[in-house]
Structure 1
Amino acid sequence: MHSRIGVFLSPVHETGQDPHLAIRRNLDLVEYVDRLNYDEAWFGEHHSLGWGLVGAPETLIAAASQRTRQIKLAHGVVPLSGHHPFHVASRAVHLQHLTQGRYILGVGPGVPFDATMFGLDGKVQRRRLDEALPTVLELVNGDERVTRKTDWFELKDAKLQLPRFGPGPIEVALATSGTSVSSPRLIGRYGLSMTTFALPFALLTPGAPEHIGLAQQWKHAEEAADEFGQTLRREDWRIALPVHVAETSRQAFAEVGDGYDRWMFEYFAKTGGRDVLAPGAKRETMLRDRVEAGGALVGSVEEVVSGIRRIQEATGGFGTLLVYVPDWTSYENTDRSLELLARYVAPQINGSAARPQEAVDWAVAARAAR
């Protein structure tokens, strides 16, 4: 039974802790949510800023594949501007075998901070994505040999030796964020899945129309799909944003308030150099402002269910909510939040709670009619 929820592990961990234990925590967490019937777990790739410790997510995916049963495991994402397309495709097919068909290849242009370290600017990242994407798609899901030469990679009659695990194609998802137009158009052009990182929207000024921006991205993708004769499915659209659930709203905010503040001001502001506090905004109410604006979901089960439904309505509908899991609170609080999401939030979103309730209602009505 599909839960329609997953986890997105950037993963970011506050500095000052043992990096080895932080890495192991991610594997333990994926094994935990696999038991909770989460649909997907995504692993990010980062090479700078200290908090994002995973530079080789394929290794965690491979390890997680041996510790899990049913959950899909995804790159979130491979920055195509920094990897040879043949190596991307080769790793993808190997991971599909290790996961026995549970692998999703997520791709994107790359993180700006990492690109600076590699001597790339944003325009080069975007150009390389455009150049590499069709090559990767043919190598992964096609049957033809590829010959292509650019100023940064070259292939001559290239074809993978290892076949895919199954007869169907490997799912390929392209990341979008912010107010991007080019990425949604690539999604529509090639008929890919879309994974939207709502974090850039969470950094906008209070009251900014986050969900309108998300809906606009889907519109750009649909327009390109019509133009190139492709078909997109909303069920293949994932939206990733921070979520934390507790028994009450007060408890939820109390558990993550300090960690959210450090995440914003130590990670994004101090380390990343981002402006995170809008003019006139108050630091002490920043988290609540973000939640009210739709840039995060924090609260009780009922409040989070309502928040997801608002996003569904505002966007026109999407398939899977990816729960962005930062180091906002203790592992125990995080695990409890993920359990509440699985046990009580997901059934109201995916409809699995309806049938048992219908049986109760029928039994009561039938008894009253006798």
Structure 2
Amino acid sequence: MVGSKLRFGAFIAPFHPLRENPTLALERDIELVQHMDRLGYEEAWIGEHHSAGYELIASPELFIATVAERTRHIRLGTGVSSLPYHHPLMLADRINQLDHITRGRVMFGVGPGALPSDAFMMGIPVSAQRDRMDEALDVLVPLLRGEQVTRKTNWFELNEARLQMTPYSRPSVEICVASQVSPTGASAAGRHGAGLLSIGATQTGGFNALASNWAIAEDKARDAGKTMDRDGWRLVGPMHVAETREQARADVRFGLEDWLYYFREVAALPLAPQDGSDPVDALIASGMAVIGTPEDAIAQIERLQAQSGGFGAFLMMDHNWANWDAKRKSYELIARYVAPRFQGLNDNRDASLTWAAQNRPRFIGEAMAAVGARVAQHVQEKGTENIRPEILAAMGMDKKPAAE
């Protein structure tokens, strides 16, 4: 029986250090998604950020519209749209338009907004972001189903609002709510029966909260008369793989420190030691990151499966730890050697190989018998003049003249 198929993809914030040309950095993000599409990755999620200089994509919708024209199969999600930053009708209309022009390849990831500096520039109190996300999601879900909505809050108003176009995807585009450690995202996902996007799944707090957040989502879903589907649960974590662990460690020396600087100085997440010890060792030892081989990546995903109880997709937290060639190679190695282990791609091949090996004596015997019969027929008709002696010996025959 063919095994279940875990999907693979990337969560592309992105993270580009200030020493790079930003225009070329954006083009490389587009090329990455094209590369993933050719390799058979199922999903790419694109972030929204407006400050701090590293996470350069301001509009995931514009990026998705661009890359949709350069790819064929991969599904493309907003990872995530920051709901407090947008009037719900305007955002719903843009997502619905993308749903049509991508012929259903778009996914709608939502969250409250990750960078306090973004909210500050727009005069949005950080303390209000999660409440505003909930209020926006409450109207976005029916809007994206083509329903009419009237609602007034202290920051937006909808009067008999309805999208002009019926959704391309039915009942609507797939909606997924970002979650880290707090129960906010899990609760919102459960209320609407939406997917869950666990962005910090490999960080200690996020990893420890996986099972409890899923339980919270299921409880909220039951209260709302909805159901949660583990196939719609995405877990996110960083990886870089190479043919050997030594090569992987050497690769990430290229850009790891730039990435860590951003999280130490801007995002304020304690991802690496401050005592001068090797950050590569620390990231690996904590379980937060894979810097190693495809076998190490397989072990990490198995660890996440055991902790969570099962999920539908693993998304690599995209980074630029390695140079472009090594990064592309890492994505290729994961597609070639990691994804097949969790997608049942070789189940039938393995069964076929085992079956053929177990039955080899019978098959070889039948093949030899068939060849022997033809050789005997030839000898009977033409003699042995044109047949090599070793063939005759194998058939238990001697040189004989052709029949008169």
Instruction: Note whether the superposition's TM-score is higher than 0.5.
Output: yes
1:313 aligns with 2:306: yes
Gaps of 5+ in 2: 364-404
1:117 aligns with 2:121: yes
Q: Any idea what SS the aligned residue of 2:278 has?
A: helix
Return the alpha-carbon distance in structure 2 between the equivalents of residues 273 and 221 of structure 1.
Answer: 27
Q: Report the CA distance shift for 1:101/1:195 in structure 2 as closer, same or farther (over 3 A).
A: same
Return the alpha-carbon distance in structure 2 between the equivalents of residues 55 and 134 of structure 1.
Answer: 24
Aligned equivalent of 1:189: 191
For 1:188, the aligned partner's letter is G
* Contact 1:7 1:325 (8 Å CA) reproduced: yes
For 2:265, the aligned partner's letter is K
* Contact 1:189 1:225 (8 Å CA) reproduced: yes
Return the alpha-carbon distance in structure 2 between the equivalents of residues 243 and 286 of structure 1.
Answer: 14
Q: Report the CA distance shift for 1:369/1:285 in structure 2 as closer, same or farther (over 3 A).
A: farther
1:209 shift after superposition? 6.0
Return the alpha-carbon distance in structure 2 between the equivalents of residues 12 and 128 of structure 1.
Answer: 26
Return the alpha-carbon distance in structure 1 between the equivalents of residues 305 and 110 of structure 2.
Answer: 24
Aligned equivalent of 2:182: 180
Return the alpha-carbon distance in structure 1 between the equivalents of residues 205 and 5 of structure 2.
Answer: 30
For 2:174, the aligned partner's letter is E
Q: Any idea what SS the aligned residue of 1:284 has?
A: coil
For each residue in 1:2-47, what CA deviation from the matched residue of structure 2 results, as whole angstroms up to 9, or x when unmatched? Answer: 6610011101111121111111111111111101110001100010
Determine what percentage of the aligned residue pairs are the same residue: 38
For 2:111, the aligned partner's letter is G
Return the alpha-carbon distance in structure 2 between the equivalents of residues 101 and 113 of structure 1.
Answer: 33
Aligned equivalent of 2:263: 268
Q: Report the CA distance shift for 1:124/1:96 in structure 2 as closer, same or farther (over 3 A).
A: same
Please, which of 162, 167, 181 is the counterpart of residue 164 of structure 1? 167
Q: Report the CA distance shift for 1:83/1:65 in structure 2 as closer, same or farther (over 3 A).
A: same
Aligned equivalent of 1:339: 332
1:223 aligns with 2:213: no
For 1:194, the aligned partner's letter is L
* Contact 1:210 1:293 (8 Å CA) reproduced: no
1:291 shift after superposition? 2.2
Aligned equivalent of 1:97: 100
Return the alpha-carbon distance in structure 1 between the equivalents of residues 290 and 69 of structure 2.
Answer: 32
Return the alpha-carbon distance in structure 2 between the equivalents of residues 315 and 274 of structure 1.
Answer: 23
For each residue in 1:300-357, what CA deviation from the matched residue of structure 2 results, as whole angstroms up to 9, or x when unmatched? Answer: 1111111111111111111101111111111100100000111111001111122212
For each residue in 1:276-300, what CA deviation from the matched residue of structure 2 results, as whole angstroms up to 9, or x when unmatched? Answer: 455xx64433332222322112211
* Contact 1:146 1:157 (8 Å CA) reproduced: yes
Aligned residue-pair number? 359
Aligned equivalent of 1:205: none
Aligned equivalent of 1:127: 131
Return the alpha-carbon distance in structure 2 between the equivalents of residues 241 and 187 of structure 1.
Answer: 20
Larger-Rg structure: 2
1:70 aligns with 2:73: yes
1:1-370 equivalent positions in 2, closer than 5 A: 4-111=7-114, 112-143=116-147, 145-177=148-180, 179-198=181-200, 202=203, 208=204, 210-265=206-261, 267-277=262-272, 282-368=275-361
Normalised to the residue count of structure 1, the TM-score between the two structures is 0.92
1:157 shift after superposition? 0.8
Aligned equivalent of 2:393: none
1:150 shift after superposition? 1.3
Q: Which moved more, 1:96-105 or 1:289-298?
A: 289-298
Return the alpha-carbon distance in structure 1 between the equivalents of residues 331 and 271 of structure 2.
Answer: 27
Normalised to the residue count of structure 2, the TM-score between the two structures is 0.85
* Contact 1:209 1:293 (8 Å CA) reproduced: no
Q: Report the CA distance shift for 1:273/1:180 in structure 2 as closer, same or farther (over 3 A).
A: closer
Aligned equivalent of 2:387: none
For each residue in 1:249-271, what CA deviation from the matched residue of structure 2 results, as whole angstroms up to 9, or x when unmatched? Answer: 11112211352222112x11234
For 1:301, the aligned partner's letter is P
Q: Report the CA distance shift for 1:166/1:318 in structure 2 as closer, same or farther (over 3 A).
A: closer
* Contact 2:221 2:227 (8 Å CA) reproduced: yes
1:368 shift after superposition? 4.2
For each residue in 1:190-211, what CA deviation from the matched residue of structure 2 results, as whole angstroms up to 9, or x when unmatched? Answer: 1000011017x63xxxxx4652
Query: How large is the RMSD of aligned CA atoms in angstroms?
Result: 1.8
Q: Any idea what SS the aligned residue of 2:239 has?
A: strand
Q: Report the CA distance shift for 1:147/1:35 in structure 2 as closer, same or farther (over 3 A).
A: same
For 1:157, the aligned partner's letter is E
* Contact 1:2 1:37 (8 Å CA) reproduced: no
Return the alpha-carbon distance in structure 1 between the equivalents of residues 92 and 63 of structure 2.
Answer: 17
